[in-house]
Amino acid sequence: MSRNNEAPILILSLLITGAILGGGYWWFSRQSGTNPIGSLLPQSEKTSTQSPPAAASDAQLPSPPSPAAFPPPTTVASGTTVRINGSTSMAQINKALKDNFEQSFPQTKVEINAQGSDQGVEMLVNRQIDIAAVSRPLHHEEKAQGLIAVPVTQDAIAIIVGDKNPFRKGLTQNQVADIFQGKITDWSAVGGTPGTIRVFNRPATSGTRQAFEELLLKGSNFGTTPNITMMPRDATTPIIQALGTDGISYATYAQVDNQKTARTVALDGLTPEAANYPLQRTLYYVYKDPPSEAVQAFLGYATAPIGRQVIASTNQ
């Protein structure tokens, strides 16, 4: 046989031998259920045929504490009374829920007042009321006394001036902080007509003031310059009446929206309706553990879909 004929025969023989070996390897792998190549790989590169270890169940993991979820009441005992006091920012919410709760459950009574968040918390601790309306998070020492906060809704704190104030521009957060700390005292410093800025602040017991201080001043103190007046009580109406043409203050947006004698000032180009408006906080109903049946009924109603609709209507 010539050398020209030997080369093709040699190649064909090699191909047949390779096919036989490959087939044998495949048959062996199927029969043994092993992967000889895989056994040579590092453990991290192997593809496991076993299920990964089961993750710990939710019941085994510590869960953060959360307020008790009260079911919506279907009936409420005749003669049930619920006493609520606290944040002025929640006065409209309290009134709307009171009216609808009493209408839904005849022969019940909801007594409401609004003397400030701190006052409400103090009265709740002393068992003088059943529920405190609070416009700030609870302090550690308040939680330690068995108080539990139930989130009710989100609220925006609006910067307000009198409707006849000639200042028609917006302000930045830094400018507002400087105004309330007494660093800026003249309207000309923020692009307005020259004249003293009269600042109206809320009393220290106000939850709105405490939230404003935390959100905008970042924990710094309010100013005490002569142009800053601290109102004797935590109420929005007297503040609006005092604004005039050169005053500035802040209030929960629901209380000043659609006002004819006051208007809001944009903050960093955003109005309080904006989803990313910077001065937003949570409003709470607070109860003392363990809750009474009356408290469970009212909070169950307030946090149910019907209660949320009532609350939403106060912002319209």
Q: What is the pLDDT of residues 292-305, one digit of tens each?
A: 999 999 999 999 99
SS percent in the chain: helix, strand, coil, step 5:
40, 20, 45
The residues, ordered by sequence, that sit 6+ positions from 16 with a Cβ below 8 Å of its Cβ are none
Residue 29, pLDDT > 60, answer: no
47: left (phi > 0), else alpha (psi -120 to 50), else beta? beta
Strand partners, 155: 281
Report cis status (omega within 30 of 0) of the bond before 290: yes
* Cα distance between residue 221 and residue 202, in whole Å: 13
Which is nearest to 134 in space by CA: 67, 240, 210?
A: 210
* Cα distance between residue 18 and residue 262, in whole Å: 91
Lowest mean pLDDT among 24-38, 205-219, 253-267: 24-38
H or E element that contains 14 = helix 3-32
* Cα distance between residue 152 and residue 286, in whole Å: 10
Strand partners, 111: 83
92 C-beta neighbours (distance < 10 Å), count: 17
pLDDT-derived band of residue 202, with 50, 70 and 90 as boundaries? Answer: very high
All structural domains of the chain, each given as residue ranges with its CATH number in brackets, are 81-154+282-313 (3.40.190.10), 155-280 (3.40.190.10)
